[in-house]
Amino acid sequence: MKRFIIILMGLITSVVFAAGNEQIQLISGAMTMIDVPFAIKACSVSNQEVAKVSVLSEKQMQVVGGQAGSADIMVSGETGNIFYTVTVTGDIRGLYRELSADLDFLPELEITPSGSKVVVKGEISSIPKLDLYQKVLNFYQGSVLNLVVFRPKPEVMKQLQNTLEQAGYAMVKEGAVFTPGDLLIKSVGDTVVVSGKVYSPQDVNKIKEILDSQSWLSTSSSDSRKVRALLNIEVAPEMLELGAVYVGLDKTQLEQIGMNFMEAGIPITFSAGYSGSIDRRFDFHRGGGGYSLGTNLNTVINLLGHNTNSVFRHAGFLSFSSKDQDTSRSLHNGGTLKVRLNGTEQSALESVDYGFTLTVKGGLTGKDTVTMEIEVTMSSPVLMENDDYDLKSSTIKTIVVCKLNETVALGGLKELLQNNGGPDGMPYLRHLPIINWFVAEKEVSYQDKEFLMLISPQLMTQAKPIELPPSQELRDVDENAVEDLLAGKRKQRRWFRWLRW
């Protein structure tokens, strides 16, 4: 009875052991390499006369076929176990007959025995047949020399082209001069070559993902079961220019902006990285602080200058290549304070920058779309009781997605000023042209003011200069000068009329 139970347990174990095993077919004396998906800790073989196993590296082992028969291999690792069943055939003709029967649905292939292996040659042009062929071949790994080439039919290549076109790329003919967004696909031998020019490194990754999603293609040279896809794609060295303008508004002006833009037919949407709803005014607190305006920077400035008594300060430009999207560029508006280390006369002077710093990283992610990581830092030196200086700073970080030549309005800068100590704590900030209007008063009412930043990305080859309207003081002077001139002319005309009368 005990012996019967042991035999029964052995049979059950062998059935369970083999149920989920990966199958390996070998000729006696042939060998194959097996890649294991985890680090090998231990390896055992049920019959070493049939199969001999050698661990070559942390995740690879070699199996050599011995005498005819079958053997089970268990490979153990920290994350689990994996099982293989090795079937060894002593007669190459027997393997040839089995493989020929399994591949009878592919009469276009030539199958011949050669030494200790079976050689398969020919061409396959159907994706479903290629999938079936690869499944059959997996069972015979190590015993078959695969010389089959996949030659995709024209409709297969057309389907791939359609997929790339739906992703936003244009297909061109061979010999065409590439412009950003153009691609050319052609079959060269057993390789599919994708050439072209794109706007950003993200485009290259996107194309690679599309190619790897095809069941018959792979951009990896290590995947021998699929057709190799070779990328020959250039990232266009487009230079971007980012213009920045600071705008000062009071509460009444802020409430009018949304209405003015909508009445002018300018679309308003929330910029990426923010959430909320849009009404007929800008709410830079409830919404988080960012709006995308569907027009260029000069139009926004002109509209604000015409309908409000806004204060404008030109912050400057940032220029960067769309290819260098991992490199940040900074624009500093402020000053530099020289401070002695340790507070002694013998100490070296250290430069401490203060003011506003705009840092931008990103570039084109399409033919007319720009994605930018924006960081705005406000810093102010504060004199401590021991005559040392402390640098207070606050930072806003956000991701902005907008169209070329359109404008993004960023809020939250007022909070940066508030966080840096209020009017009494800003002796240095009063000398910065971009914000002296904001902090010049002895008692600043922050609740009645808003401080915005307008930024607009352009291609450097198409960039237009920023045109700021005159300040309110200059507008008043101009209006008074014009009125005086007109009054003088009217008086002069009255004098000549009296003489002639």
* Short-list 162, 160, 235, 159, CA closest to 196: 235
Q: Where residue 387 falls among pLDDT bands split at 50, 70, 90?
A: low
Closest among 167, 31, 145 to 88, alpha carbons compared: 31
- Rounded to an integer, the average pLDDT of 368-375 is 86
Q: What is the mean pLDDT of residues 284-292?
A: 50
pLDDT 10s digits, 175-228: 999 988 899 999 887 789 999 999 888 889 999 999 999 888 889 877 777 888
Alpha-carbon Rg for the chain, nearest whole angstrom, is: 37
Q: Which residue has the higher pLDDT, 169 or 13?
A: 169
Residue 75 CA to chain centroid, in angstroms? 39
Amino acid 264: pLDDT: 63
> What is the C-alpha to C-alpha distance for residues 448 and 441, in angstroms, rounded to an integer?
13
Which of 10-14, 146-150, 247-251, 451-455 shows the lowest per-residue confidence on average (mean pLDDT)? 10-14
Residue 201 and residue 219: Cα distance in Å, rounded? 16
CATH code matching the domain that covers 17-150, chosen among 2.60.40.1080, 3.30.70.1450, 2.60.40.1220, 1.10.630.10: 2.60.40.1080
Residue-wise pLDDT for 22-39, tens only, equals 888 887 778 888 888 899
Please tell me the distance from the alpha carbon of residue 158 to that of residue 186, in angstroms, as a whole number. Answer: 11
Mean pLDDT of the chain: 75
Euclidean distance between CA atoms 354 and 500, whole angstroms: 68
Q: Is the Cβ–Cβ distance between 280 and 262 less than 8 Å?
A: yes
Dmax (CA) of the chain: 146
Residue 501 in this model has a pLDDT that exceeds 70: no
Beta pairing partners, 311: 248
Percent helix, strand, coil in the chain (nearest 5)? Answer: 30, 40, 30
Can you tell me the distance from the alpha carbon of 260 to that of 53, in angstroms, rounded to the nearest whole number?
Answer: 78
**pLDDT surpasses 60 at 20:** no
DSSP strands (E only) in 341-486: 349-364, 369-383, 389-403, 407-410, 449-459
Instruction: Report d(CA 193, CA 232) in Å as an integer.
Output: 7
CB of 123 closer than 8 Å to CB of 149 = yes
* Second-level CATH architecture of 154-235: 2-Layer Sandwich (3.30)
In DSSP terms, which residues pair with 26 in a beta bridge?
Answer: 88
pLDDT confidence of residue 14:
41
Please tell me what DSSP assigns to residue 462. G
pLDDT computed for residue 476 by the predictor: 47
Residue-wise over 229-254: b if at least 16 C-beta within 10 A, else e?
Answer: beeebebbebebbbbbbbbbbeeebb
Is residue 190 within 8 Å of 149, Cβ to Cβ? yes
pLDDT, residue 324, reads 78
The tens digit of pLDDT for each residue in 422-462 reads 444 444 455 555 555 555 444 445 556 667 788 888 888 87
Would you state the pLDDT for residue 287? 39
Predicted local confidence at residue 284, as pLDDT:
45
Q: Would you state the structure tokens that stand for residue 408, as one six-digit string? A: 């993004």
349: exposed, middle or buried (Cβ count in 10 Å: 0-12, 13-18, 19+): exposed
DSSP state letter for 348? P
Please report, rounded to a whole number, the percentage of residues in the chain having pLDDT higher than 90.
17
Q: Which of the two residues, 83 and 309, has the higher pLDDT score?
A: 83
Length of the chain: 501
Reading the block at residue 125, the tokens are 């042009």
Which tokens go with 322?
């769309």
Average the pLDDT over each of 106-115, 193-202, 323-332 and give the range with the smallest value: 323-332
Confidence of residue 74 (pLDDT cuts 50, 70, 90): very high
Environment class of 423 (CB within 10 Å of its CB; exposed 0-12, middle 13-18, buried 19+): middle
- Tokens 């002695």 belong to residue: 340
- H/E/C letters for each residue in 435-452? CHHHHCCCCCCHHHEEEE
Break the chain into its structural domains and give their ranges: 17-150, 154-235, 239-464, 470-501
Distance of alpha carbon 301 from alpha carbon 457, whole angstroms = 15
Helix axes 251-263, 297-307, angle to 10 degrees: 120
- pLDDT given at position 397: 82
